[in-house]
Amino acid sequence: MSKISHLECSRCRATFAADKPQTVCPQCAGSLYVRYVLAPLKGIANREQIAKASSPTGWSGMWRYRCVLPDVEPVTLGEGWTPMLRSRRYPNVFLKEEGANPTGSFKARGLALGVTMARHYGLKKLAVPSAGNAAGALAAYAAAAGLEAHIFMPKDVPFANYVEAILYGAKITLVDGLISDCGRMVAERKEKEGWFDTSTLKEPFRVEGKKTMGYELVEQLGWEYPAAVFYPTGGGVGLIGMWKAFGELEELGWVRPGKRPRMIAVQSAGCAPVVRAFEQGEKTSQMWQNAATFASGLRVPKPYGDYIMLEILRESGGVALSIPDEQILASLKDWAKNEGIFLSPEGAAATAAYDHLLSTGYLKPEDRVVLFNTGAGLKYTDVTAEAAGLHRPA
């Protein structure tokens, strides 16, 4: 088991103890990274213990990597170790099927760990602004842990996100606005209400849960890096988490030496603050006005961790690109019909981005790539049907 050594600010590098709950850096409001004592885990022999150590009693799924996660009893619903599916048409394209997670999205990983640590610290009331899937995931894990979940989300989230959060017993506020408005409401009320703010990148452990995607994709590819990773980007937790995982894998000596993947951040043309900042050479993004896309998870007009994502994209030699909703829908239909996979709109943004980068020659057919389907298409039947103009026959 590794132990947390400290928390480290992603911006000013100040360090803090992890013995009590922390949100952001008290000095500069940067997001905090969790750092571990990794030295005892170095070497391939330790890596080989991972598969052996999985057990059906709570250590399966993403908890196979528990030696690089906090040493506390998990709140688990079986998240992680999702399928890595090879495309039927492109032999070097792998789809990481995150829709197989509990609550049907990759948000399960981050919130399993966020809620695990909240329970460990004795917190009782958690609050989150959400584009939809984080709401369902927080609500489920809070129910499993016996904690209160206070959720603020746009009133036009996919219906599944609303129904699941209600049934899990969360307190829901539907907001006539975007996740940024929801975030403001949490910030205004949290002190008075005694809520712990579990917002994206404002607590350190959601990134730790999401970093398991980086460990998993490398292990599933035989402990090798792919040439590129396509990530549908809203708040960016997964992108940041995977990049952190790659750093840890290298420190541990668990990944075969090679170049890290190019990180490809994919957004919708209806809300692309990271793409605009990337193209303009900026270090942070500007608020995107009138954000609108049926890829609801990508409707994040000003991500808190923009500066970290932009750094990663540049360091990896990657790119940020935006895809119009019509192309997202076309790719969703293409993968349904030709691969038998019902993508989320966010996942279809990644597959459309792959087609685009192949057509421009940025990637070659022989480049091995991982595309993230971050959620199950079945969670989006209402919004996808609307986008596709589908109605139940009268």
Residues at the site binding Zn ion, with contacts judged by CB under 5 A: 9, 11-12, 14, 25, 27-28, 30
Helices assigned H by DSSP within the chain? 44-53, 107-121, 133-145, 159-167, 179-193, 205-220, 237-252, 273-279, 306-315, 325-339, 345-359, 381-388
Q: State which residue, 41 or 303, has the beta carbon closest to ligand PLP.
A: 303
Q: Can you say how many angstroms the Cα of residue 70 is from the centroid of all Cα atoms in its chain?
A: 19
In the complex, least distance from residue 337 CB atom to ligand PLP, rounded to whole angstroms? 21
CA-closest candidate to residue 85, choices 378, 373, 379: 373
In the complex, least distance from residue 202 CB atom to Zn ion, rounded to whole angstroms? 13
Q: Is position 129 an interface residue for ligand PLP (rule: CB under 6 A)?
A: no
Q: Considering CB distances under 5 to 8 angstroms, the limit depending on partner class, which of ligand PLP, Zn ion, none binds residue 9?
A: Zn ion
Q: Is position 133 an interface residue for ligand PLP (rule: CB under 6 A)?
A: yes
Q: State which residue, 67 or 110, has the beta carbon closest to ligand PLP.
A: 110
Q: State which residue, 29 or 44, has the beta carbon closest to Zn ion.
A: 29
In the complex, least distance from residue 202 CB atom to ligand PLP, rounded to whole angstroms? 12
Q: State which residue, 30 or 226, has the beta carbon closest to Zn ion.
A: 30
Instruction: Write each residue from 209 to 238 as x if it is in contact with ligand PLP (CB under 6 A), else as -, in one continuous string.
Output: -----------------------xxxxxxx
Q: State which residue, 204 or 236, has the beta carbon closest to ligand PLP.
A: 236
Task: Give the pair of three-digit tokens for residue 219.
Answer: 């292990």
Instruction: Write each residue from 184 to 203 as x if it is in contact with ligand PLP (CB under 6 A), else as -, in one continuous string.
Output: ----------------x---
* Count of residues touching ligand PLP (by CB under 6 A): 19
Q: Considering CB distances under 5 to 8 angstroms, the limit depending on partner class, which of ligand PLP, Zn ion, none binds residue 238?
A: ligand PLP
Q: Considering CB distances under 5 to 8 angstroms, the limit depending on partner class, which of Zn ion, ligand PLP, none binds residue 25?
A: Zn ion
DSSP string, 170-181: -EEEEESS-HHH
Q: What 3-state DSSP class applies to 371? A: strand
Q: What number of CA atoms fall less than 13 Å from residue 387's CA on the CB side?
A: 23
Q: Please report, for residues 118, 164, 186, the alpha-carbon distance to residue 142 in angstroms, rounded to integers and kept in the order given.
A: 9, 13, 17
Look up tokens 């052996």; give the residue. 52
CA distance 233 to 72: 29
Residue selected from 346, 354, 383, 387 as contacting ligand PLP according to rule CB under 6 A: 346
Q: Is position 103 an interface residue for ligand PLP (rule: CB under 6 A)?
A: no
CA distance 218 to 236: 19
CA-closest candidate to residue 352, choices 377, 380, 325, 381: 325
Q: Is position 131 an interface residue for ligand PLP (rule: CB under 6 A)?
A: yes
CA distance 25 to 164: 33
Question: Using CB atoms within 10 A of its CB, is residue 125 exposed (0-12), middle (13-18) or buried (19+)?
Answer: middle
Q: Is position 285 an interface residue for ligand PLP (rule: CB under 6 A)?
A: no
Backbone angles phi, psi at 12, to 5 degrees: -100, -5
Q: State which residue, 65 or 230, has the beta carbon closest to ligand PLP.
A: 230
Q: State which residue, 30 or 261, has the beta carbon closest to Zn ion.
A: 30
Task: Give the pair of three-digit tokens for residue 300.
Answer: 């994040």
Q: Considering CB distances under 5 to 8 angstroms, the limit depending on partner class, which of Zn ion, ligand PLP, none binds residue 198?
A: none
Q: Is position 344 an interface residue for ligand PLP (rule: CB under 6 A)?
A: yes
Q: State which residue, 82 or 200, has the beta carbon closest to Zn ion.
A: 200
CB contact set of 59 (below 8 Å; sequence gap of 6+): 53, 66
Contacting residues toward ligand PLP, per CB under 6 A: 105, 107, 131-134, 200, 232-238, 297, 344, 346, 374-375
